[in-house]
Amino acid sequence: MMTSKERVESVMAGEIPDFVPVEPGVTLEPNFVMKYIGEDVDQYFRNSKKCFMAIKKIYKDFNFDMILAGFSALIYPELFGGKVCYKKNKMPHVEKPVFKGIEEVEKAEIKSPDEVPVFKSVLESLKMLVDDIGNEVAVSGCTSGTFSVASQLVGVERFLKSLRTDLEFVSKVTKISGEAIVEVGKKIIDVGVKYIYYPDAISSGSILSPSQYEQVAKPLHSMFFKKMKEAGDVYTIYHPCGSEYPLLCEIKNINNVDVFHFSENVDFSVLRKIFGPTKVLMGGVDIKRTLCLGNSAEIETEVRKVITGAGKYGRLILAPGCSGEIPINNLRSFIEISRKLGKYPVVV
Ligand SMILES: [Zn+2]
């Protein structure tokens, strides 16, 4: 039997592993992770040891194949001198927009992630994961996405309005956001992480039209993946975060992406046809309706559909279509069912 790390590596190499690898997304959710060991949510960003111990415990208790952990767009304002509030039982939030106008954006200075305690803490927890269990499980570091970070710097509402009315502002804010994310990505690579995870909900198909995506988002995403490949020997994972159909042709043409993490909004058998037999696809299982609210029979139906649609010949990582807090019993069922149906050669 392969280790989790070997299982994911064989998928990346285009080989057929013993089982379809599974990644449950929960380790990217500060609420899930810290509650699991009875600690406060803010400790995910502020106490590297506790964050590491919690994630390791979740991995050991449930035995999945890829750990997804790292940065949230919510803490990025700190890299630009913004003040972020951390409360015990709440996700962090920025007190006020970092930039009001274009002049402020032009004068912005990006701090090194090493100078900002919460960034240092998250990097340390990733390093502890790699050093301690990186020989048995694939560790993936999340940078967050360019538009998601930009919207945190100026306020989500302002950002979305500017997409209609002030593209110059959008272009300047997304440019410096992209630069900051690249720096964070390089630091993640420096601590030994081999998989870089880049989710960007604010440039999804529910917010941007295909032409907007092509003109304003795609060049920035492409730049990010190119820079990561230049920075180290890493695999890149892109998560466009829902409403993917209108953007699929554009998404497919982004270079330097090794894994596409899609939501349940797209049919994985269609994706397999569009992306071809050699691309690694990830995701597919509905986080809300099935994993959070469904029962094990519903989880089984959906896991079967994803494997049959896109995983018969490898190159699939089963995962929720987006990360979220899965109830413990359903998390256990999801992993068990993935192992039962995902054994190669698959006979579903
Ligand atoms: Zn998502």
Ligand 1 centroid – CA 104 distance (Å)? 30
324 lies in some domain: yes
Ligand 1 centroid – CA 239 distance (Å)? 6
**pLDDT score of 348:** 67
Ligand 1 centroid – CA 170 distance (Å)? 22
State how far the Cα of 66 lies from the Cα of 185, in Å rounded to an integer.
18
Ligand 1 centroid – CA 107 distance (Å)? 32
Ligand 1 centroid – CA 25 distance (Å)? 10
292 lies in some domain: yes
Radius of gyration for the alpha carbons in the chain, expressed in angstroms and rounded: 19
347 lies in some domain: no
Tokens of 104: 């402020």
Query: What total of structural domains would you count in the chain?
Result: 1
Query: Using an 8 Å Cβ cutoff, are 3 and 134 in contact?
Result: no
Ligand 1 centroid – CA 230 distance (Å)? 26
Ligand 1 centroid – CA 240 distance (Å)? 7
Read off the CATH number of the domain in which 92 is found: 3.20.20.210
346 lies in some domain: no
SS3 of 65, please?
Answer: coil
Ligand 1 centroid – CA 103 distance (Å)? 32
Q: Is the dihedral of CA 214, 215, 216, 219 positive or negative?
A: positive
**pLDDT score of 11:** 98
Residue written as token pair 């960007």: 200
Ligand 1 centroid – CA 339 distance (Å)? 24
E-only strand ranges, the chain: 66-70, 84-85, 93-94, 138-142, 195-199, 235-239, 259-262, 280-285, 316-320
The verdict on whether omega for the bond into residue 345 sits within 30 degrees of 0, i.e. cis, is: yes
267 lies in some domain: yes
Ligand 1 centroid – CA 285 distance (Å)? 12
State how far the Cα of 264 lies from the Cα of 130, in Å rounded to an integer.
30
Q: How far is CA 126 from CA 34, 139, 265, in A?
A: 15, 8, 30
For the chain (348 residues), the mean pLDDT of every run of 10, in chain order, is 97 98 98 98 98 98 98 98 95 95 96 97 98 98 98 97 96 98 98 98 96 97 98 98 96 98 97 96 97 98 98 96 97 98 90
Range of the domain at 294: 4-341
59 lies in some domain: yes
204 lies in some domain: yes
Ligand 1 centroid – CA 311 distance (Å)? 21
SS3 of 262, please?
Answer: strand
State how far the Cα of 309 lies from the Cα of 297, in Å rounded to an integer.
18
139 lies in some domain: yes
**pLDDT score of 347:** 80
